[in-house]
Amino acid sequence: MNIFAEAARLYEQNTPFALASIIETKGSAPRHDAILLIQEDGRTQGTIGGGMIERHVISEAIDALKEGRSRVVKGSMSRTGKDAMDMDCGGTMTVHIDVQGIRPDMLLIGGGHVNRAVAKLASELGYRITVVDSWEPNLNAKLFPPNTQLILGETIQDAIDQVTIRDNTQVIIATNHEDTTALPAILKSPARHIGQLASRRKVETLHNKCLELGISEARFQEVRTPVGLDIGAESPEEIAVSIMGEILALSRGKTLRKSGGKPAILSSVTNGHDNLVIIRGAGDLASGTAVKLHNSGYKVVMLDLPKPTVIRTNVSFAGALLNESGQITVEGITAQKARSVADALRIINNGRIPIMVDPDGQTLRQFKPAVLVDGILAKQNLGTHRKMAPVTIALGPGFNAGQDVDAVIETCRGHNLARVIYQGEAEPNTGKPGTIMGYAEERVLRAPCAGQVIPEVAIGELVEEGQIVANISTEIGNQPVITRIGGKVRGMISTGSEVPPGFKIGDIDPRGASVDHTTVSDKARAIAGGVLEAILKLSP
């Protein structure tokens, strides 16, 4: 059986596989035009030349299948250098790994008239469908498309417990009288895409029930209810069209707004969003920028590490990634952790700022923002470039305006703070903090050794010179962090953060009680103004 026949067979069986195709070679390479088929368990058919390069491609293909996303892999058939494969051919090879056969999962809770109609539409659109119910007549196979998985439980909870629910499973809940059991059960699962068929009165009942069961307000707000676009649907078939329309809109990056209590299409992110700003980093200066832009009418999305090492945690939207609640409020603006692009768009529509774990900016292709702001403040460029958005702006040193980005904002305190630079660079990093009341380095709290930070004081507390403000927990005991000056604790890294020796874990403001630690700093406000100026000048 040739590769394409095998690919067709696997596709018909809904078995995931990947096709690895050579798209470019340079120099000496074992193959220049070949295809390799790879399955999830590592079985292959065909070859792209063998050796370490093929092993590397197979490994990458398996990872791509797990992720459900295609990718491009490069390898150098040499012993040293970038992408070296420990080979002696000397050439390079670029391979495109195309993921195939992965159909999206749809779980229909309840096998009534609406979900039957949804199943028919979803089947035609390629979804793999599972229907659960506790009433056997609702699971008559003749009522559903072929290959629909039907699961009967003694209760709706029992039926749900028999299903494997993943984070990308599309769930639609439409039962006769078991929604108050079904919705909480689904909200306790990893599912991120949840639609609930319900009247406004039922929504209130469901809301109260979920809160009683300990489900957070933020988690409940992730439910799309009433589910479906506002198209005036009345019959089960029409309602199914509205539901599938909403699902397709969100999956393709459409932003939804509420119209008469139901979602309606607002705009398309996949076609570009002329009012969307992506901010890389979510520390205090990036967050001050986000506050300014949000209040100026821009839609803002923030991207950061899974566990950001921010210092001014109470005024940094990065706190949403550190808090169990998944959200934080700064100056009346709430940032909320988003699990996907569709989730981020929903959060925007609710008037909040979504923050996502995406340090490399992989979601930019889906968002297609009008503006990208690098607010990482790493003192070096960690990958931001002008092709990321029509307008690109960076905060601080490490960037060259006109080459790396369109504009750089000066972050060094002094006469030039927040100046917009359109050609050239910001002042170089001195490694020294800004001076306040004659204190510079003395203001900074640093870890005396590697270990886990255990704060002994909270942001906003007044401390005295010589006071222990934190401990660094190590295998041989705790090492104290002692402040060299008195004042107000302005910043303190989150409890449990792992840090190396000399790492900045907090700062003390010598101005003491007169300092407002609960709002965006004067420096952040100034820099945010510079960002806004650059956006207005550079935007078409």
| pLDDT score of 85 | 62
| pLDDT score of 195 | 93
pLDDT digits 0-9 by tens, 242-278: 999 988 888 766 656 555 555 554 444 434 456 899 9
Please, which residues have CB within 8 angstroms of residue 26's CB and are 6 or more apart in sequence?
91, 92
Statement: residue 456 has pLDDT above 70: yes
pLDDT digits 0-9 by tens, 488-516: 999 999 998 999 999 999 999 999 999 88
Tokens of 419: 């100046």
If DSSP codes are grouped into helix, strand and coil, which group holds residue 299? strand
In 248-352, the DSSP E strands lie at 254-259, 262-268, 273-280, 299-304, 327-330, 333-337
Query: What is the pTM (predicted TM-score) of this model?
Result: 0.53
Q: Are 492 and 459 in contact (CB under 8 A)?
A: yes
Question: Mean pLDDT, the chain, as a whole number?
Answer: 88
Instruction: Tell me the C-alpha distance between 249 and 254, whole Å.
Output: 5
- Which of 6-20, 181-195, 460-474 is predicted with the least confidence, judged by mean pLDDT? 6-20
| pLDDT score of 269 | 41
pLDDT digits 0-9 by tens, 309-354: 899 989 999 999 998 889 999 999 999 999 888 888 889 888 899 9
Candidates 449, 441, 444; CA nearest to 312 is 444
- Length of the chain (residues): 540
Statement: residue 183 has pLDDT above 70: yes
Instruction: Tell me the C-alpha distance between 452 and 474, whole Å.
Output: 7
pLDDT digits 0-9 by tens, 136-148: 999 999 999 988 9
Please, which residues have CB within 8 angstroms of residue 197's CB and are 6 or more apart in sequence?
114, 172, 173, 174, 225, 226, 227, 228, 239, 243
Please say whether the dihedral angle defined by the alpha carbons of residues 426, 430, 433 and 439, taken in this order, is positive or negative: negative
**What's the N-to-C CA distance of the chain in angstroms?**
55
Please, which residues have CB within 8 angstroms of residue 392's CB and are 6 or more apart in sequence?
371, 372, 373, 374, 384, 385, 386, 404, 405, 406, 407
pLDDT digits 0-9 by tens, 64-118: 888 777 888 888 876 666 666 665 666 788 899 988 876 788 999 999 999 999 9
Number of other residues whose CB lies within 10 A of the CB of residue 418: 20
Statement: residue 30 has pLDDT above 80: no
Amino acid 188 reads K
Tokens of 210: 């979920």
